Structure 1
Amino acid sequence: MAAEATQDPVTDRSDVDGRPPALRLTGLHKAFGANIAVNHVDLTVPQGSFFGLVGPNGAGKTTALSMAVGLLRPDEGSSEVFGVEVWKDPVQARTMMGVLPDGLAMPERLTGRELLTFIGQLRGIEPAVLAERIDELLDVMELHEAETTLVVDYSTGMRKKIGLATALLHGPRLLVLDEPFEAVDPVSAAALKAILVRFVESGGSVVLSSHVMALVEQLCDTVAVMAKGRVVADGPLAEVRGEQTLEQTFVRLVGGDEHAGRGLSWLAS
């Protein structure tokens, strides 16, 4: 049986061992006119977890993550990264996290190496350290052969990889990734998965938003399901999905069962 949410705050699992959670959202709320995009969301991401955030289009995932990392100011509520409030101490909070937003805009007339150099200089990374990290990132991302290619000429998979490289460059403890595998080919996806798994194995924490249930089941140990701006279930993956697949549980929780088996009348034989 899935761990379905109630009106009570989500249990803070990370405080059990005395460590603050990697990310904690408390009463996060955002409305655009009469449309409530995120409705007083409480969510806790334990340290060292690979956390999946799933939901249908319009569920509020991107809006919630944008507020969580400091890209969009909430109407109410707070976001903490390792105990540091994002909107009260944004500089310290942002040094501990790397962010890959959906549809990330990048300077397109730079090469991959130039882009990483520019980002590293903005972050104040020492030149020798920066050069070493860029070499390693280009190697791990398999972008060395394209390091002289302008970003404008990158494929979708290459853009995702260079975007992840910019998020990892300063050595964050938390990665927040919004649809990092969307429109990415299987080879690039495999490389990205391997990098993220190694990051978590080395002590990092990842928050991953995705529409692909099989991907979340493959990578994540903890999951939350959003629908209509609310968290309707959260907890360890095995707890949330119960005896079903995550996709089956997801469809049931977001009300998709009512459309199952329906066809188009004019296509009937």
Structure 2
Amino acid sequence: MVVDVHAPAASDAIVVRGLVKDFGDQRAVNAIDLTVPAGSFYGIVGPNGAGKTTTLSILAGLLRADAGEVEICGIDQAKNPLDAKRVMGVLPDRLRTFDRLTGRQLLHYYGLLRGLSADVIEKRSADLMRAFDLAGSVGRVVSDYSAGMTKKIMLAGAMIHSPRVLVLDEPFESVDPVSSAVILDILRAYVDHGGTVILSSHGMDLVERVCSRVAIIVGGEVLAEGTVDEVRAGQTLESRFVELSGGASEVEGLEWLHTFSD
């Protein structure tokens, strides 16, 4: 499988400064600063509605920020959006794809969109399908795939042009442990060969285990950022996350739940 990143990498793959995004009177992203070193596995964690998906959507060029600056591999996203998108592969949170195509047809389409020749697409598609354990499903329409298989074929599509940066929103959600292990092995090999992965995840154990740096986002703001050891500050990442997110929720008023109706 092709995972080498051929162009020389800059010291930082992603630089975000003062990122702001409002939806009506709701501020989803509030002056976020992030720096993602090239060749790193970078995790973003936060509670539901914290602004993780909005932030990643802006980085991926799927959403326009109201303020702030984004550089992808030294490319100013606002001035050169197409150039910035060319060096990225994207796996969105809500999977939307042409699921009436077969797995083979979908990868071929992704390759054409990225300007690859037919023979390169055929070779890389075969490599990717084999690596993601999908070789036996190339002729099936994607709508018949399981959630894990759909996630894998879309990740394969995001990687087919050998991007320098992968932006992945919840890549392991609804994925079984076997498929998760396959995806993780491929992403680790990709990073080992110079690629950069930035992902969001609710799996604290996974982020703690595989990411070199992490940011905790709450209420659209970065409350902690650094190496995993720096962010967890002597605790588990999950404990630190709960602490920064405001602690456990109140359960007062639910006493009636302890008196059973039968």
Give TM-score, length-normalised by structure 1.
Answer: 0.90
Partner Cα separation in structure 1 for residue 123 and residue 110 of structure 2? 14
Instruction: State the 1:262 CA deviation.
Output: 6.2
- Residues 177-213 of structure 1 show CA distances to partners (whole Å, capped at 9, x for unaligned) of 0001111111111111111111111111100101111
Instruction: State the 1:217 CA deviation.
Output: 0.8
Partner Cα separation in structure 1 for residue 252 and residue 40 of structure 2? 38
The runs of 5 or more residues in structure 1 that have no matched partner are 1-17
Tell me if structure 2 keeps the 8 A contact 1:59–1:227.
Answer: yes
SS, match of residue 55 in structure 2? helix
Instruction: State the 1:264 CA deviation.
Output: 2.9
1:181 maps to 172
Q: Which amino acid aligns with 2:27?
A: I
- 2:133 corresponds to which of 121, 142, 150: 142
Q: Which amino acid aligns with 1:96?
A: V
1:207 maps to 198
- 1:264 corresponds to which of 238, 254, 261: 254
The runs of 5 or more residues in structure 2 that have no matched partner are 1-8
1:243 maps to 234
Tell me if structure 2 keeps the 8 A contact 1:20–1:83.
Answer: no
The aligned runs of 1:80-119 (5 Å cut-off) are 80-119=71-110
Instruction: State the 1:79 CA deviation.
Output: 1.1
Partner Cα separation in structure 1 for residue 10 and residue 109 of structure 2? 34
The aligned runs of 1:5-154 (5 Å cut-off) are 19-154=10-145
2:189 maps to 198
Instruction: State the 1:260 CA deviation.
Output: 6.9
Residue 163 (1) aligns with residue 142 (2): no
Tell me if structure 2 keeps the 8 A contact 1:69–1:86.
Answer: no
- The structure 1 segments of at least 4 consecutive aligned residues displaced by more than 4 Å after TM superposition are 260-263
Give TM-score, length-normalised by structure 2.
Answer: 0.92
**Percent identity over paired residues:** 51
Partner Cα separation in structure 2 for residue 120 and residue 47 of structure 1? 24
Partner Cα separation in structure 1 for residue 184 and residue 144 of structure 2? 23
**Residue correspondences, number:** 251
SS, match of residue 22 in structure 1? strand
SS, match of residue 179 in structure 2? helix
Partner Cα separation in structure 2 for residue 193 and residue 245 of structure 1? 21
Partner Cα separation in structure 1 for residue 221 and residue 256 of structure 2? 36
